[in-house]
Amino acid sequence: MADTTEGTEAADRLESALTSRIDPGTLDEIAGLARQVPRAEIARLVHTSTPLQSAMLFRVLTKEEALDVFEDLPPAYQAELIGNLREPEVADIVEGLDPDDRAELFGELPASVASRLMKGLTPDERSMTSAVLGYPKSAIGRYMSPEVLGIHEDWTAAQAMEVVRARIDGPETVYLLPVVGPGRVLRGVVSLRNLLAADEDTVIEDMVRDSLSTHALTDREEASREFLSHRLIAMPVTDQEERLVGILTMDDVLDIVDEEDAEDLARGSGTEPLDRSYLWSTIIHLVKSRIVWLLVLAVSAILTVQVLEVYEDRLDQVVILALFIPLLTGTGGNTGNQAATTVTRALAVGEVRVRDLGRVIWRELRVGAVLGSVLGALGFVIAGLVYGWAIGLVIGLTLLSVCIMAATVGGLMPIIAKKVGADPAVFSNPFISTFCDATGLIIYFTIATTVLGLS
Amino acid sequence: MADTTEGTEAADRLESALTSRIDPGTLDEIAGLARQVPRAEIARLVHTSTPLQSAMLFRVLTKEEALDVFEDLPPAYQAELIGNLREPEVADIVEGLDPDDRAELFGELPASVASRLMKGLTPDERSMTSAVLGYPKSAIGRYMSPEVLGIHEDWTAAQAMEVVRARIDGPETVYLLPVVGPGRVLRGVVSLRNLLAADEDTVIEDMVRDSLSTHALTDREEASREFLSHRLIAMPVTDQEERLVGILTMDDVLDIVDEEDAEDLARGSGTEPLDRSYLWSTIIHLVKSRIVWLLVLAVSAILTVQVLEVYEDRLDQVVILALFIPLLTGTGGNTGNQAATTVTRALAVGEVRVRDLGRVIWRELRVGAVLGSVLGALGFVIAGLVYGWAIGLVIGLTLLSVCIMAATVGGLMPIIAKKVGADPAVFSNPFISTFCDATGLIIYFTIATTVLGLS
């Protein structure tokens, strides 16, 4: 803490900064000044400023400072501060920051403040309020139920049952109950079933069992997939200090997963997910969901025109070569998509990790070689019988090479996408097709030039 | 019931049929004879024949007859019969029949027999035993938990709680409790929460609430999707007479949906789902999961070679036309896949039904027209600037037509697949690409022939 004279001076400057219009720029200044001002002074400012000012001032404190200030306030002022934090303007200002800046400027709020802030809100209000808590849209904290019944580890089973009964009509889930120690630190869970089965005098501490939990800032999809893959019925959510701030229930998780699945599926075929049902979407909506990807893909496909232009004179010499272009590019695209879909799924369910890249490439090389040998042999015979053995050889060798190339690229792309932090589904099928088309054509004409002795 | 002399004669023939080797053929005969034999006689045969014989005889009775016979047996014999029905041979014989024949020959078993038959089994035993119950692999009856705690509608809340407490350590779910009336007919559900909140003397009948339930023969995916979309925690399963036979819980549902999703995803890209994890599958396994589809698609793609062969002389005259083949077929495939994916999803979540076919075609026609206009205008300008305005016109018009055709076909295919009872995912993306490739080429060369005045 700074010395008193400096502190008073800073307090004056802080007060004047607060009275100016608050925007992300002044917030930085306020945060800097608040660090130099004694806590008692800040507490005074918090409950004498206008609602918006007091809320923003409180919001720029570090978690520890915020807890101290909050605990120093008389209960009536505490309630008022919670009310101020709920002001829509506070949400707007916090939401208006970049997630990075927000994380840097604002810490999490203390668990006790956070949970009181969220009590008794409608889902809409809650979504607004959780912005104030500093949770970005992708964080599970946005979706948890903050109204969680925390059982204390030193209660008896009978005391716990009494609390459950008293809140049996509330909105909280009661089938899985998080157990907390001093300072709301999560200790584990007890199920209502265990509680009913237990002897009345059993202390909760002796029946608590470990539970998977997640941090409020964890990515919403990651937390949801873990929830589902462990077949949980509820999962406690904590802040960075393992204090209980909420609970995730099955309906929250299913909403998230439905949305993510729809998004992945749409992206995998080059569309943006629709925000309303198909028959309710306007034509313009449907067009918008498709046009961007279609344009990007069509522009990428100009690559294939340019590749073919390079080989235009070979095509002119042996026009028969043109007949096989759709067959060869189609087969390449199919092989690539098969590999990409398999690997994308394996990544999603955790069977393959980014560091397995080498193993995946080696597998897909061999799978592609086997697939290519079968298709190539067939292509050699059929094309050979119809168009002569030289053409047969070109087609056979091209199918072999294209399958190896496409399977490898298809297996590689989703892992690279994941490595650079992109959504594997976006990167995958349509792009792989286009990439394999262009590469396949180069392979085709290189083989044709050599085998047929063109120049 | 037939008269006595005839009955006795039939009983003799029945007894001799039973002693021959039981296979699907003799089962038919046994079923026919059993209908002519008095019930008391059948009861006697059931508990004097060998285990396999008695079980098969019991199994060919109609549900009502089976219930009568079963209730006539002394408890010790009842237990023995249940044991006989669990013989692996019974499962084998029943499983060996076609699902249709099985449904015709064997009714469902009475709910009381079914639930005793399933008690205390491991999941493996249960899957074997549920074959005996007549549930095909795709029916939800195979996956439900038969160990369900049914609460009687005339119990009080206190009595119900006592039963719950007594079975609190059992494997049944206790958070949602099915309520049954006389004859185990399902009346609805009460949640453990409601039970805890209720006054001790409240009669269950007064607190029961309606619940979604499903029949044991319902398709497993359909039942699971309904479970999830209604955010249930458990769903009672009944036989055709609405008698409670089991309960479906979240873990059963998630297993089914995981499997179905993996299958749809794989099929959508032309692979068969893997039965083990990616890195554990052998190369041969991976090849097998892909080769069939790849071959089918490659053989279909021969169509494109044949189409191009028809236009070979036009290609010979204007070799530049060949340069655009991958761009045009690729764009057609992408547009078709976008529409197919959107409509497949809309079908899956119930936003679109088969009878909306006309509306879907009309929407996709217009969406395709808008997408085609944008891409066509762009193609006209770019190709026109580089290769001259005649070529530009051909490319622009082709892009417009291909987009309209592909969007319509893409929207149509999944609905037709569903109509003929095929999996929309199988029918969709790779096939649509191949189909659009061939059709797109015909459109392309028709337009080129006209615009460029070729012959």
Does B328 have pLDDT greater than 80?
yes
Q: Where in chain A is the domain with CATH 1.10.357.20?
A: 278-452
Degrees to nearest 5, angle at CA B227 with B347 and B258: 70
For residues A30 and A42, the answer to whether their CB atoms sit within 8 Å is: no
Instruction: With cut-offs at 50, 70 and 90, classify the pLDDT of residue A351.
Output: confident
Query: What percentage of chain B has pLDDT greater than the value 70?
Result: 89
Instruction: With cut-offs at 50, 70 and 90, classify the pLDDT of residue A428.
Output: low
Per residue in B425-436, pLDDT (tens digit) is 666 677 788 888
Find the mean pLDDT for residues B31-38: 80
Q: A–B: how many Cβ contacts below 8 A?
A: 270
Does B444 have pLDDT greater than 90?
yes
CB atoms under 10 Å from CB of A26, counted, come to: 15
- What is residue A1's predicted lDDT score, i.e. its pLDDT? 43
Side chain identity at B312, as an amino acid letter? E
Does B99 have pLDDT greater than 70?
no
Q: Between B342 and A270, name the one with better pLDDT.
A: B342
Q: Strand A186-191 and strand A176-180: pairing? A: antiparallel
CB atoms under 10 Å from CB of B212, counted, come to: 13
Least Cα separation, residue B35 to chain A (angstroms): 47
Which of A268, A324, A340 is opposite residue B305, by nearest beta carbon? A324
Instruction: With cut-offs at 50, 70 and 90, classify the pLDDT of residue B87.
Output: confident
State the average pLDDT for chain B: 83
Instruction: With cut-offs at 50, 70 and 90, classify the pLDDT of residue A121.
Output: low
C-beta atoms of A297 and B331 within 8 A: yes
Instruction: Quote the CATH superfamily of domain A151-266.
Output: CBS-domain (3.10.580.10)
- Note whether A164 contacts B: Cβ–Cβ < 8 A: yes
Does A2 have pLDDT greater than 50?
no
Instruction: With cut-offs at 50, 70 and 90, classify the pLDDT of residue A72.
Output: confident
> Which value does ipTM take for this structure?
0.71
- For residue B286, list chain A residues with Cβ-Cβ distance below 8 A: 342, 363, 367
Q: Pick the most confident of A69-73, A254-258, B403-407.
A: B403-407
- What is residue B7's predicted lDDT score, i.e. its pLDDT? 63
Degrees to nearest 5, angle at CA B42 with B41 and B44: 65
- What is residue B388's predicted lDDT score, i.e. its pLDDT? 93
Give residue for tokens 């997910």.
A273
Which of B197, B325, B371 is opposite residue A287, by nearest beta carbon? B371
The three state secondary structure string of B48-81 is HCCHHHHHHHHHCCCHHHHHHHHHHCCHHHHHHH
Q: Between A141 and A132, name the one with better pLDDT.
A: A141
State the average pLDDT for chain A: 83
Which of A268, A294, A330 is opposite residue B335, by nearest beta carbon? A294
Query: What percentage of chain B has pLDDT greater than the value 90?
Result: 28
Q: Between A53 and B325, name the one with better pLDDT.
A: B325
A315: nearest CA partner in chain B: B319
Instruction: Give dist(CA B309, CA B313) in Å, integer.
Output: 8
C-beta atoms of A330 and B433 within 8 A: yes
Query: What percentage of chain A has pLDDT greater than the value 70?
Result: 89
- What is residue A213's predicted lDDT score, i.e. its pLDDT? 93
- Note whether B308 contacts A: Cβ–Cβ < 8 A: yes
Per residue in B396-420, pLDDT (tens digit) is 999 999 999 999 999 999 899 888 8
- Note whether B251 contacts A: Cβ–Cβ < 8 A: yes
For residues B109 and B63, the answer to whether their CB atoms sit within 8 Å is: yes
For residues A231 and B254, the answer to whether their CB atoms sit within 8 Å is: yes
C-beta atoms of A319 and B315 within 8 A: yes
Degrees to nearest 5, angle at CA A170 with A169 and A172: 125
Instruction: Give dist(CA A322, CA A303) in Å, integer.
Output: 17
C-beta atoms of A279 and B334 within 8 A: no
C-beta atoms of B334 and A293 within 8 A: yes
Q: Where in chain B is the domain with CATH 3.10.580.10?
A: 151-266
C-beta atoms of B346 and A278 within 8 A: yes
Q: Pick the most confident of A424-433, B66-75, B204-213.
A: B204-213
- What is residue B367's predicted lDDT score, i.e. its pLDDT? 94
Instruction: With cut-offs at 50, 70 and 90, classify the pLDDT of residue B188.
Output: very high
Q: What is B278-452's CATH topology?
A: Tetracycline Repressor; domain 2 (1.10.357)
- The tally of CA atoms less than 13 A away on the side-chain side of residue A247 is 27
Residues 172-191 of B with CB under 8 A from A: 174-175
